[in-house]
Amino acid sequence: MKWLKGIGLLLVANVLIFVTLSLTFTVLLDIVLPAFGIDLRGAVTQQDLLWALVIGFGGAFISLAFSKQIARSMLSCVQITQPRTHAEHVMYGAVQEIAQRMRIQMPEVWVYESPDPNAFATGPSKNNSMVAVSTGLLSNMNEQEVRAVLAHEMGHVYNGDMFTTTVLAGLMNTFVYFISQWVYRHLAERNQALALGVYFFLQTVLSFLAMIPIAWFSRRREFGADAFAAKIYGKDAMIGALRAIDSWVKRAQVEYSTQDALATMKISGNTGGIMHLFATHPPIENRIAAIQRLPF
C-alpha cells in the first residue's frame, strides 16, 4: 500500500501546483500585464499551461518514482540485509538507529564499488528510500565519520529533499517547455524551419539556466543535512567526515593532477567563477563553518 500512498501524494502535488500556477497565470495575463500595456490574452491559453505542466512534471515525477531502480541499475552495488563484516554492521546499524529515532521506515542499505568517498540517498518518500555508500568511503573514513555521513544522507531522507528537488525540477521543466512551445508556435506561422531551430535552441539554453535555481536549492539542502547529522552524532563527527573528504580530494588532485577529483558529484564544491552557480554542493570550508555556528 505504500506505493499507492506515494502515487497519491504525487498526484495531489501535481494538482496543487497546477491550481497555483493557473491562478498566477490568470492574474498575470488578465490583470498585471495589461496594466503595463502588454496584452497577451488569447495568445496564451491555460491549455498550453496544462500541457507544459504534464510534460514538465511528468518526467520529473516518473524519475522520482523509479529513482531507486535507476540508481541501482547504474551502479555495481550489493544490498545489505544481514550485515556480515564490521563495516556492514556500522553502516546498517547507523541507518537503522536513525530511522528508529526519527520514526520512519528503514531505508534500503546498499554498498557500491567506487574509489571516491561518496554516499547518496534517493527514493520517492521518506518511508520508501535507499541509502548507498561507496567502498571508497568505507576504506577512507573511520567509524565515527562513516556514521556522520550516513546521518547526513538520512537527513536528506527525513527532510524530504528528494521530493522537494523533484517539485522544483518539474517547475523549471514546465516553464522551459511552456516558453519554448509558445515561441515555436508563433514563429511556425512564418517559417517552420526557423521555428524548429529556435525551439531546440531555447530548450537547450533554458534547460541550462534552469539548473541554476536547482543547484542553489541543492547547496542549501546540504547545509540542512549537515545540521541534521551534527544533531544526531555531534558537530565533531560531521566536521571530521568533511575534513576526511577534503583530504582525499587534495591527495587525488596531486596523484591524478585533476582540478577536482569529485567533480562529477560536486561534493567538494571547489568550483570557481560562474561555475559556482551550477555546483550542487557548497565548498567544504563553508559547510564546516556553518556547522561550527550551529547553536547546539
In angstroms, the CA 49 to CA 268 distance is 38
In the block, which residue shows the cell 518526467?
59
Biggest CA–CA distance in the chain, Å, is 71
Contact 230, 203 (CB under 8 A): no
Q: Of residues 153, 222, 255, 285, which has the active-site annotation?
A: 153
In angstroms, the CA 54 to CA 62 distance is 11
Contact 101, 229 (CB under 8 A): no
- Residue 109 DSSP one-character state: E
Q: Tally Cβ neighbours within 10 Å of residue 6.
A: 19
Enter the C-alpha cell of residue 176.
522551459
Contact 33, 40 (CB under 8 A): yes
Whether residue 97 lies in the annotated active site: no
Strand partners, 22: none
In angstroms, the CA 80 to CA 82 distance is 6
Nearest CA to 93 among 134, 151, 137?
151
Strand, helix or coil at 181?
A: helix
Q: Is 168 exposed, middle or buried (0-12, 13-18, 19+ CB in 10 A)?
A: middle
In angstroms, the CA 64 to CA 160 distance is 12
Contact 278, 218 (CB under 8 A): no
Catalytic residue list: 153
